[in-house]
Structure 1
Amino acid sequence: MFRESTASSPSTAYDCDVLVIGGGIVGLSTAYALTRAAPGTRVVVLEKEPQTAQHQTGRNSGVIHSGIYYRPGSLKARFAAQGATELVKFCVEHDIPHELTGKLIVATERAELPRLHALAQRGRENGIPVRELGPAQITEHEPHVRGLAALHVGTTGICDFSAVTAALARLARSAGASVRCGARVTAIDRRPGRGVAVRTADGTVLRARALVNCAGLHCDQVARLAGDEPGMRIVPFRGEYYELAPDRAHLVSGLVYPVPDPAFPFLGVHLTRGIDGSVHLGPNAVPALAREGYDWRAVRPGELAGTLAYRGAWQVARRHWRYGMGELRRSLSREAFTAAVRRMLPEATAADLRPAPAGVRAQAVLPDGTLADDFLIAEAPHTVHVLNAPSPAATAALPIGREIAERALRTLP
């Protein structure tokens, strides 16, 4: 924290009304929503990278999620279905590449059948059209996929989330917002009745009436810079991907997912045809050694030490170590990863797999080791912190941006 001079009058000293930290899809959707909800509101977005959407937004599978997995009544369930509809409309209006491919959730073992049926019930509770398929019907949708039964979810699709983010930035700018890249926040000073002052790495100081923290992988650190204890810590998990060789991409027509096991924290390896026609396989989830640790060589000792010192991280390891060992094995062995793919796509071989860029998930972990499953948004004086924006954050970006914007406007002094 730093102490910014207050010699000038509080009524004239503000550089903007709302300052948003983070230029990913949630931060820019929030900026766009602010300009629409309260025209004339002065908005500044600070992004530490040279361009927007460089981390979670630009390094995901590009899937428009339906909301079938999420607990009824949760923010994820509420925003996913609404967000998917709005996102498709947004893509059409702004000529952004997208496609409603549909998705199969495939059971390959009898033990998975009760979970598949329960998932169908959950989908219906969330208002999502679901069709239950037998083996012959599976091959009608995906000729090379095998399973005992499946669910077909027609409202799932794919799009280019980086392009969506760029469009949101253009719209926000056209409404008067400023989006500043290469602006890493290093200090925050907040005082009752005087708003918030932020200093960036180049020494620039900006004063705002309110602050929105959409810093993703660094959101807990930004919260602490503001003097708030977030009650969680980001523990980064790297999602490792392969892709099918171009001459084998025909093996997958759309999106194919395994039946999730509620005892484990991640969905497991799935098959995703991207908007460019390539087929990604993954992710395989392993602990990252840095918040932006996109491969094993990326190590930041300070960040790693912070994770290792956090009690919640050890509780996660104790609770899920067997699952974690399987993920680690698939990380180190292409053959083990291929075996996971072959459960649904038996024609795939290790020779068909090509390494693809990885992503890092900003997983919020509570002190008792609980993995925050829903959106986690905290409010403080003149401040809104987005502390967990899990999948389907990109899908739900438009409605979640409006939710954050409404909260931010309520905090204005």
Structure 2
Amino acid sequence: MEKLMRQHWWKLLAVLILVYALVAGLLVPLKPNLLSVTPNAATPGSIQSFDLLGYNTRFQEDGGSSRAWLNYGEGYAIEATEVKVTDDRRATATFVVPDYLPTTETGSKKLSLIVSGAANGAFVVPDAVIVRQQQPPGDLAAVRAEWERTAMQKGDLIANPSMTFPYRGLLSETIRNTYFHVSLWFAMMFLFIAAVVYAIRYLVIKSRRGTHTLDTTVGLTDLSPLERTDQWSVVFTGVGMLFGILGLLTGAVWAKYTWGSYWNWDIKQFTTLIALLIYAGYFVLRAAFPDPEQRARLGAVYNIFAFACLIPLIYILPRLSATSLHPGAEGNPAMGGEDLDSTMRMVFYPTIIGWTLFGGWMAGVAYRARIVGEKLLRRQESL
């Protein structure tokens, strides 16, 4: 590890990746979508106009190519008879709503609104319009044929021509925090893994020294391989803690804009706080023992314990919860197409690598500082 710390290529790579993540993450626009659809209900057998308020839309640049559908799903949709553009953000879509929905079920059904144009590309507003069916259709086959006739065909939907990030109604621009909040958690995990590996390595080296199979003789003011291993475990744990705290703070800011308050006692917020408090106990434990060997040995054992607690607290318990506000509850992996599309992956995955490398660089600097400080202290004591 010390040889790797003397090399500079991976440090430069970390800086370049994080600069790329900062620039791309903040400057790439979100996909066009709608902030509101008014009204949000339609009556079967009527002509209904809906006022559309766009977000990042360019309706005027579509050049009259804007089209819209009320989509029931399963290949059933009705196309707007007219899409009248007011300006880049405002348009009105008019539909002739059929007398019946293509189903025998009665009650309220939520239809998605799909809009497509040359400049905006195609985008979907889920559950945009509510239609209430009072009774089932007499001729279901004829009704379905009517809905199929006006459904989207191949080539009707146009892909957005530019690089964009997905628009999510609840998240809006805060979706960019994914590159900082979530990637910090991943980097934290890799740093804690490095810390626990060195903790295990310390115990292994110590057991070998106990059987006199490993020579750790060093100079009076130098540090033995056993002590250096302990120092690596300490610095990796410290930087991992820093990244965990930053992840908690960025998550609190995100929660303020999406959930209404900085702290909601969500299961994942709570278990993450517990995990970080457990790791904080690692430093409290080390400070409680003046004997270096005892401090290092008990610290290594506690580090393994803390990592064993980290996995269920962060990754298992939140997924068992049915009430968590976080993606990932009830077994959802939280990394599917609904949460992270291919465009975001181009930034998200490199950012994880960037934060991890940068964290390793920080740990290397902290390691050298601790080694130099310890050598100076021993030199003073030897005088």
TM-score when scaled to structure 1? 0.25
- Structure holding more strand per residue: 1
| Higher relative helix content | 2
**Max radius of gyration: which structure?**
2
